[in-house]
Structure 1
Amino acid sequence: MTASEAATTHRETPVPQEPEPTPGPLTGDPALIGVPTFIVGSIALGMTLVGFVPAAAVGAPVAIILAATGIGQLLAAVWAAGIGQSAVASIFGIFSGFWLSYGFLVLGLTHDWFGVPSESATATQGLFLSSWFVTVALLTLATLRLPVAYTLLFGLIAAALMIVLVATVQDSTELKAVGGYVVFTFAALGCYLFFHVMSVATGGRGLPLGHPVGAGPPPPRGAGAPPPPRFASSC
C-alpha cells in the first residue's frame, strides 16, 4: 500500500462519536423553578410587612408561601439532587424548610394548633426568627465561593430576618416596614438572577454575577481562570 492510499484509507475511516445526551427528567436547571417561586413568596411577605394588608391579616401571604414558594423550593431541591447538584439542592432545601415552616407557624398560631398560649406568641415568633437567622447567616458564610450576587442575596435575607426579629420583640410597625423593604430588595435581586438563568436556558449569555468573595482576587487578564462552582452556572 502506498503512502497516498494509506492517507486516503485513513480519511475514509469513520471516527466514532459520543452519542448526544437524550433530554429527560433528570436534566436541565432546577433554578428555573426555584428562583421564580422564591420571588413570588418574597413579594407577598414584603407586602405584608410594609402594611399592604391590615396587621390582623397576618395569614394573607400563606396561600402563596405554602402552595407556590414552599412546594416550588422543594421541587427544585429534589430536581437538583437528582442531577447531582448537591450545593443547589442544599440551598433550595434550606429555603423550602424556611417557607414551609413559616406558613405552618402562621397557621399554627392563628388556629392554636401547637398549644402556644397567646402571651407566648411573640416569644415563639422570636424563636422562629432567631433560628432561621442563624441558619441563613451560616449559609451565607458557607457559600462565599459562589458569585457575589448569591452572597448578597443570602446576606440580605439574613438582614431581613434580624430586622423583623427586633421589630417583633419590640412590637414596632416601623421596623417591620423596614424589614419589608429589605425583603423587596432581595426579591429584586432574585428577579435579576431569574433573568440570568432564563437567558442561559434559552441559549443566551448569562448576566454578570460578580467575582466570588471567598475565591481570592480575580486572575490577571489573559490568565486561565479555574472553573466556577457548579451552582454559579446552574442557578
Structure 2
Amino acid sequence: MTDVAVAPTDLIADVSAPPSEPAPAPTGNPATVGVPTFIVGSVALGMVLIGVVPATAVGASIPIILAATGVGQLVAAVWASSLGQNAVAAIFGIFSGFWFSYAALVLGLTHNWYGVGADNAVATQEVFLTSWLVVIVLLTLATLRLPAAFTLLFALIDLALVLVLIATAQGSSAVQTAAGWVVFAFAAVGAYLFFDAMSTSTGGRALPMGRPVLGG
C-alpha cells in the first residue's frame, strides 16, 4: 500500500479558507399592502354605516371587503411572517380574519346560509361583534409597546365595535351613524400609517408615530 502525500499548502488552504457568508435576510414592508387594503374596506364600511346606502343594502361593501381588504390583509400577514415580523403578522392576520368573517356574516345572513332565521339575526350579529371586540381589545392591550399611532388606531376600532354592538342591540340608527364616523376616523389614522410606510419604502423619513404607552 502506498501513502498519499498531502502538500502542506493544501492543509493551510483548507484551514485558512474563510467560511462562506450567509445570504442576506429578505427585507420589505408588508404595511405597503396591508394598510391601504385596510383603508379601502374601512371607508366602504363607514359609508354603509352612515347610511349612504339603504339599510337593506348592507352588503354594498362586501365586494371591496372580500376581494380587496380580506385578501390584502392575508397577503400582508404571510409576507410579514416570511420576514420574521411576528407582531406585524399577528396584526394583519387578526384583521384578515375579521374582514373575511364579516363578509361571511353578511352574505350568510342575507342568503340564509346558516339556518339562523330572521328572529335570530340580531343575536348572531351580537355574537360576531362581541367575539371580535374581545380579540381586538386584547390586541390593543398586547401592543401597547408599539408607537402611540397604532394604539390610537386599535382604540378607535374598539370604540367602533362597541358602538355598532349598541346600535345592533338597540336598533339605533343614530348610534350606527356615530359608529360610521368613528370608522372614518380610524381610516384616517390608517392613511397616516400608509404615508409613513410609503415614505420609508421610497427612501424618505419616517413620520412621527408618538411614544408608546408602555416604554422599555
What is the TM-score with the length of structure 2 in the denominator?
Answer: 0.88
Q: State the alpha-carbon separation in 1 of the partners of residues 71 and 22 from structure 2.
A: 35
Counterpart of 2:181 in structure 1 is 181
Q: State the alpha-carbon separation in 1 of the partners of residues 189 and 119 from structure 2.
A: 37
Q: State the alpha-carbon separation in 1 of the partners of residues 158 and 101 from structure 2.
A: 16
The structure number with the bigger radius of gyration is 2
The letter of the residue matching 1:84 is G
The letter of the residue matching 2:64 is I
Counterpart of 1:204 in structure 2 is 204
Written as runs of structure 1 = structure 2, the 5 A alignment for 1:63-212 is 63-212=63-212
Q: State the alpha-carbon separation in 2 of the partners of residues 158 and 85 from structure 1.
A: 24
Shift of 1:67: 0.3
Q: 1:170-225: CA deviations, max 9, x gaps?
A: 00011000000000000000000000010000000010000000116xxxxxxxxx
The letter of the residue matching 1:110 is T
Structure 1 residues not aligned, in runs of 5+: 1-17, 217-235
Q: State the alpha-carbon separation in 1 of the partners of residues 211 and 27 from structure 2.
A: 27
Q: State the alpha-carbon separation in 2 of the partners of residues 184 and 63 from structure 1.
A: 19
Q: State the alpha-carbon separation in 1 of the partners of residues 78 and 23 from structure 2.
A: 25
Q: State the alpha-carbon separation in 2 of the partners of residues 30 and 192 from structure 1.
A: 15
Counterpart of 1:56 in structure 2 is 56
The letter of the residue matching 2:185 is T
Shift of 1:27: 2.8
Counterpart of 1:37 in structure 2 is 37
The letter of the residue matching 2:60 is A
Shift of 1:21: 4.2
Structure 2 residues not aligned, in runs of 5+: 1-20
- SS at structure 1 position matched to 2:63: helix
Q: State the alpha-carbon separation in 2 of the partners of residues 188 and 117 from structure 1.
A: 36
Q: State the alpha-carbon separation in 2 of the partners of residues 19 and 124 from structure 1.
A: 52
Q: State the alpha-carbon separation in 1 of the partners of residues 208 and 148 from structure 2.
A: 10
Query: Identity percentage over the alignment?
Result: 65
What is the TM-score with the length of structure 1 in the denominator?
Answer: 0.81
Q: 1:42-87: CA deviations, max 9, x gaps?
A: 0000000000001100000000000000000000000000010000
Q: 1:26-48: CA deviations, max 9, x gaps?
A: 53110000000000000000000
- SS at structure 1 position matched to 2:214: helix
Q: State the alpha-carbon separation in 2 of the partners of residues 65 and 75 from structure 1.
A: 14
Q: State the alpha-carbon separation in 2 of the partners of residues 77 and 101 from structure 1.
A: 16
The letter of the residue matching 2:33 is I
The letter of the residue matching 1:115 is G
Counting helix residues as a fraction of each chain, which structure ranks higher?
Answer: 2
- SS at structure 1 position matched to 2:57: coil
- SS at structure 2 position matched to 1:56: helix
The letter of the residue matching 1:176 is Q
Shift of 1:117: 1.3
Counterpart of 1:10 in structure 2 is none
The letter of the residue matching 1:83 is L
RMSD: 1.7
